[in-house]
Every structure is written in C-alpha cells, then in structure tokens.
Amino acid sequence: MVNVRGWVTISSMTGRTHDLAAATALVATAIVLQPTPVNLATALAALLANQIGGIAPDIDQPTAPFWRNLPIGGFFGRIFGKLLGGHRFLSHSLVGVVVFGLAARALINFLHPLMPHIDIGIVWVAFMIGVCSHLVMDSFTREGVPWLLPVPVKFGFPPVRSLRVTTGKKMEVILIFPLIALGLIWLCSTHYVLLQQLILRP
C-alpha cells in the first residue's frame, strides 16, 4: 500500500514483531509439549524454519520482509501477490496454512539428504508454529484475517475494529512488541533448565 506521502507501508504487523511472536510461540509450545530432546543442529534448523514461517504468509505483498531480503524479491513478490489473490487473502487463511504445510513438508523432505542428522519432523512443526503465529498476530490488526476463506469475512480481535492495532503505530511499538519480548524473556528465565534439557549434549 502506498500512502499519501508516497511511502510504502505494510498493512500487517512489522517483520520484527512477527519474528519475536514466532520465537515466543515456539518456546511456549516446547515448554508445554516437552518433546523428546533434539540435537543442536535440529534446534538451530527449527529456529530458522520458525522465523521463516513467521513471515511466510506475507509473501503476498512485494514490500514484505520475506522479499526485501532477496535480490529482485519485489518482482517475485508482485507475482506471488497476484497468484495468491492479493494481500491478506489465501496465504492468510486456514487453506493457506494447509498449503504452506504441504509445500514446506515437500521442501524439507527434499533437503533432508543434505542434513541427515536433523529431525525434519521437528523442523516442520517449528515452521508451522511460525505460520500460525503470523495469522494470530495479524488478527490483532485493524484489517483482520480471512481465516475461513472462501468465506469472505476478515476476523480480528478484539471484534470491534477500532480497538485493534494499526501497523507500526504506537500501540505496536510501545505495547505489543515490548509485551511479547517480556513474555519471551519470562518464559526462558522461568523454564531455563527445561529448555536446556530439550537440547542433547554431544
């Protein structure tokens, strides 16, 4: 979206808020589910996949962080945006979650021979946690998220639109981002030993 001053704005949470939310969701899920301990390579690959998942739904906008970090990313972003029906459409729905899940599974299976020591099931789950956290975070923004496509309704929280967050505005910068950061710090400090035990020592 281009505003009146000609500046490009993104009508979703900022990339760093999505990154932080994805990591927090990953840590919270690990604490609740306490999976079998994994090796360090799997933990690092899972964190990377989780961060990619956290920004993946925004492949439908050429200005997204996902594309900004790639050479000629804006070009691909425009193509994907058209394919996915424009911003906040297919990639921001449960149908999109399933499509991301299938595509990620195929890609991870394809790459597995290059990294045989990595538990690809954990990496896939970490990616999906990132994708889902993105949709949850975008639900707090004014535009909402079309969770139930093809039902053409955008859902958000709180249901009253005017109470939701405008991207990059004060509410996100001084409230939402610091709150998630504090939540992540609190989770890590109160479950430090448990989190440490989830990673196998060589």
**Which positions lie near Zn ion, rule CB under 5 A?**
12, 57-58, 138
Give me the least distance between CB of 142 and Zn ion, in Å please. Answer: 13
* Helix, coil or strand: residue 167: coil
- Residues found in the chain: 202
- Cα–Cα distance between 142 and 4 in angstroms, integer? 19
Ranked by CB distance to Zn ion, the top (closest) residue is 12
Give me the least distance between CB of 17 and Zn ion, in Å please. Answer: 11
Neighbour count for residue 152 (Cβ, 10 Å):
8
β-sheet bridge partners, residue 2: 8
Instruction: Give whichever of 84 and 126 is closer to Zn ion, judged by the CB atom.
Output: 84
Give me the least distance between CB of 191 and Zn ion, in Å please. Answer: 29
Give me the least distance between CB of 112 and Zn ion, in Å please. Answer: 29
Give me the least distance between CB of 129 and Zn ion, in Å please. Answer: 16
- Residue 193 has, within 13 A of its CA and on its CB side, a CA count of 0
CA-closest candidate to residue 30, choices 193, 201, 202: 193
- Both tokens of 113, joined, read 């021979």
Instruction: Give whichever of 8 and 115 is closer to Zn ion, judged by the CB atom.
Output: 8
Instruction: Give whichever of 14 and 39 is closer to Zn ion, judged by the CB atom.
Output: 14
Give the burial class of 185: count Cβ atoms within 10 A of its Cβ; 0-12 exposed, 13-18 middle, 19 or more buried.
Answer: exposed
Give me the least distance between CB of 134 and Zn ion, in Å please. Answer: 6
Question: Under a CB-based contact definition with an 8 Å cutoff, are residues 17 and 176 in contact?
Answer: yes
Instruction: Give whichever of 42 and 58 is closer to Zn ion, judged by the CB atom.
Output: 58
Instruction: Give whichever of 2 and 33 is closer to Zn ion, judged by the CB atom.
Output: 2
Instruction: Give whichever of 10 and 188 is closer to Zn ion, judged by the CB atom.
Output: 10
According to DSSP, residue 32 is labeled H
Question: Under a CB-based contact definition with an 8 Å cutoff, are residues 199 and 39 in contact?
Answer: yes
